[in-house]
Every structure is written in structure tokens, then in C-alpha cells.
Amino acid sequence: MTEPTTSPSRHVAIIGGGPAGLMAAEVLSQAGVRVDLYDAMPSVGRKFLLAGVGGMNITHSEAYPAFLSRYAERAPQMATLLRAFDATALCQWIHDLGIETFVGSSGRVFPTDMKAAPLLRAWLKRLRESGVVIHTRHRWLGWHADGQLRIDSPTGEQQLKPDAVLLALGGGSWARLGSDGAWMPLLAGRGVELAPLQPSNCGFDVAGWSEVLRSKFAGAPLKNIAIALQNSTPRLGECVITASGIEGSLIYAWSAPIREAINQQGVATILIDLLPGKPVDKVAAALAKPRGSRSMSKHLHSQLGIDGVKAALLRELAPAECFADPQRLAQAIKGLALNLIKTRPLDEAISSAGGVRFEAMDENLMLKAIPGVFCAGEMLDWEAPTGGYLLTGCFASGRAAGLGLLSWLKA
């Protein structure tokens, strides 16, 4: 796609130094626009760097239809952004920064050194060379009565009147890294249609574990299991028992439908398959074998390999009478019902749902209520699971908003 160019006298202020804001800054500066980027934190890309701790998962290699489906009900809107900058384009962009990538066994894509910092350093170098000026410890406070931007800086409040503004302020999780949702009332006060911020890719609480489970197994991983909701296809993976409930990658993958079920019904029931590789009839047959003088715990271990946290969870959730009936116990092992009653707090979540509704913007991601103000990144009302989908969405929306802003300036 040919990027529109505009006069170098044009000046744009970008608020937010995460992937979306930085990507928009690149698009704009390469087209000759003077860009000043403001971030409230002491340095930019702080949440991006945190996402790279333990391995920088930048995107995912799965086929586009499956990739797009990860954005659920917002897939139609995200398709418009991803068609112009999909996972393949993102990988090529990374390669152009001098960073090589590889595809892991799960299909996730990583930089070869698994780190975020070298990628961010190379990117910031390119941005500065293209003229982008980055102002840290500068917090956006909204608008002055005459329409100027209010920026709180170390030297006092500043007022700016750029030709256009791009907001890339993140969602509502990890406030200590800058994503605190403080922009919500500022936009609501200007008539922008918003969806409430909610936890996404988050853990959940149960009504209460027994003291035995909580004291002995909080922090224990549940490996090689499958989880499903009623009338859904199970997903394989692992998660972790916490003192108040359950969290981890497999739970995060289900977090949106679990959260919505809790919102609507006050509770969500997940079904945990402790032995996804064994059909229920084989589990029942193994349990029906004579156990002699052995305890049920030893029988479960010797016949099915169920011990530790799996055995404790089975004892916690299965009715006591199941243990005298191999068929009922087998059904419990293959579909252990766990009731989740609330999400963990928003600030603990990996990401957030809600924010600026797509219906509040035009096709260029400009706010209909505030012409000349564009939005991108996690502050938009979309969500996706972990696995590279969140970052890809942020990059793609930042690029789209930058191009949309260029078109608006040119017009």
C-alpha cells in the first residue's frame, strides 16, 4: 500500500509510547510529518518489555482464518486492520530492523534471542533518526477550553495545538506500567462512545477452596489437562491453582466467555478433563480393577497416574459418593465441574476488554465526536488471547491509525 505524504510543516502529537503509538509515529515520520510523542512513564514501551520477560512472543504463525477468529466478535473490524498488516508483514517489519525470528513448536513467533529489549532499541533508534521526538514523564491531562492539549511535564503544565492527535494510551491493566485507563472520563466527557474496561486474559476466583487445597497446592500447576465450557470444544493446556481460584494460559484462553457468563449469570462453570488422552470407558475400566487393600489414592495413582494436585482437585470437587462408583468417578475425572464466581482485579489482568468502540470512529480510526483525534492499540474495544494476537492487533491498529491520520491531513 502506498503511504500518502504530506507537508513537513504538519505537526502531530502522539499520546502513548507502546507498540501502537510507536508504529503510528513510524508511519507519520516516514511520510515527512513532524511527530512529538508523549508518554507518562520514565521510558516508552514498558509493558512491551514486560511482555518479553520469559520470551518475546511477537505474533502467531497459524493460518489467517484461524488467526482472525481469535478476535471473536470484533473479528470483522480487526480484519480491516490485519489485512494491511498481518503476522507475515509484522515478521518482515521485524526482520527489517535486523532482528531474526523463529516459529516455536506451538506456532508462536519469537525473536531468535527471545528478548524484547533489542527489538525496542533498534526501533527507537530508527524512529529518532526519522525525526520523532520522544517526551517521557509527560502525562496527557485532556483538553484546555480553547481545544489545546494539556500536558503535565516535569517543568509544569504545557499546552499544545498540533494539527492532529493520535491517542494510544493502552487499556486498564498494569497501571504501574502506564495503562491505567485514566483517559476514559476524558473521552467520555467529549461524547465518545465507550465500553467499560474489563479484565481479559485474567485469573478467576472460586467461592473458596478448602484449607487443605489452599495450603498445600496454591501455586501448583495443573498440566496436561483440557478445559471446556458447556457445549464447547475442549482446549488442551495447563493452568495453575491459586489461593483464591485458578489462572494460567489455559484459563486465559477461555477468559472472555467465562467473564461474560459471570456477568450474565453470576457464575461460570468450567469442565476440567484431568486425563484428556483417555476416553471415559477406559478410565472407568481402569478404576473397576480390584484394588485390594490399597487406598483409593494409591489406586488412582497406579491405574491412571492421578496424584498430587490432580488428585487433590478431584477430592475437592467430585461428590464423595463418586469414589465408590467407577463409572461416576470416571465421568468426574473426564469432566470435573468448577464454578468460577468473579474475575481477578483488572490491574492483575494481562490485558483488558472494552474501551473506545469501533462505532465511535470512522474507517480511519478517527473519533467522530472529535475530528482530528485518532485512536489505536489496546484502548480500542477489542480483545484477543495471549499467543501474539494482542501485540499483532496493537501494531496493526497503530499502523492503520497512522495511515488514516495521513489521509486526513492530506485532505
pLDDT of residue 55: 82
Mean per-residue pLDDT, 208-223: 96
Nearest C-alpha neighbor of 296 from the set 282, 309, 314 = 314
pLDDT tens digits, 260-316: 999 999 999 999 999 999 999 999 999 999 988 889 999 999 999 999 999 999 999
pLDDT of residue 211 exceeding 90: yes
- Average pLDDT of the segment spanning 4-26: 86
Determine contact, residues 190/370, Cβ cutoff 8 Å.
yes
Q: Tell me: the pLDDT tens digits for 359-385?
A: 999 999 999 999 999 999 999 999 999
pLDDT of 108 reads: 94
How far CA 385 is from CA of 86, 190, 199, 256, in Å, comes to 16, 31, 12, 9
Q: What is the CA radius of gyration of the chain?
A: 25
3-state secondary structure the chain: CCCCCCCCCCEEEEECCCHHHHHHHHHHHHCCCEEEEEECCCCCCHHHHHHCCCCCCCEECCCHHHHHHCCHHHHHHHHHHHHHCCHHHHHHHHHHCCCCEEECCCCEEEECCCCCHHHHHHHHHHHHHCCCEEEECCEEEEECCCCCEEEEECCEEEEECCCEEEECCCCCCCHHHCCCCCHHHHHHCCCCCEEEEEEECCCEECCCCCHHHHHHHCCCEEEEEEEEECCCCCEEEEEEECCCEEECHHHHHCHHHHHHHHHHHCCEEEEEECCCCCCHHHHHHHHHCCCCCCCHHHHHHHHHCCCHHHHHHHHHHCCHHHHHCHHHHHHHHHCEEEEECEECCHHHCCEEEEEECHHHECCCCEECCCCCEEECHHHECCCCCCCCHHHHHHHHHHHHHHHHHHHHHHC
The string of pLDDT tens digits covering residues 112-124 is 999 999 999 999 9
Q: pLDDT category, 79, cuts 50, 70, 90?
A: very high
Mean pLDDT of all residues in the chain? 94
**Nearest CA among 35, 26, 48 for reference residue 126:** 26
- Across the range 199-206, mean pLDDT stands at 97
Q: What is the pLDDT of residue 314?
A: 97
Question: Residue 271: what pLDDT?
Answer: 97
Contact 149, 159 (CB under 8 A): yes
Nearest CA to 140 out of 37, 47, 35 is that of 37
Q: CB neighbours (10 Å) of residue 368?
A: 13
What size, in residues, is the chain?
Answer: 411
pLDDT in tens, 144-192: 999 999 999 999 999 999 999 999 999 998 888 888 999 999 999 999 9
List 134's β-bridge partners, or say none.
37
pLDDT 10s digits, 46-78: 999 988 777 899 999 999 999 999 999 999 999
**Facing residues of 158 across strands?**
151
Q: What pLDDT was estimated at residue 6? A: 47
Give yes or no for residue 130 having a pLDDT over 50: yes
CA 2, 99, 63: angle at the middle one, nearest 5? 65
Domains located in the chain, CATH noted: 11-200+352-410 (3.50.50.60), 204-343 (no CATH)
pLDDT given for residue 149 in this prediction: 97
State the average pLDDT over residues 351-355.
96
* pLDDT band of 1, cuts 50, 70, 90: very low
pLDDT at 292: 86
pLDDT of residue 343: 97
- At residue 5, does pLDDT exceed 70? no
With cut-offs at 50, 70 and 90, classify the pLDDT of residue 9: confident
Could you give the CA distance from residue 304 to residue 215 in angstroms, rounded to a whole number?
25
Contacts 24+ apart (CB under 8 A), 296-305: 296/323, 304/275, 304/278, 304/333
pLDDT tens digits for range 155-165: 999 999 999 99
In whole angstroms, give the CA distance from residue 218 to residue 114.
29
**Whole-number Cα distances in Å, 409 to 93, 150, 302, 360, 406:** 25, 22, 71, 20, 5
pTM over 0.85: yes
Per-residue model confidence (pLDDT) at position 82: 96
pLDDT at 2: 46
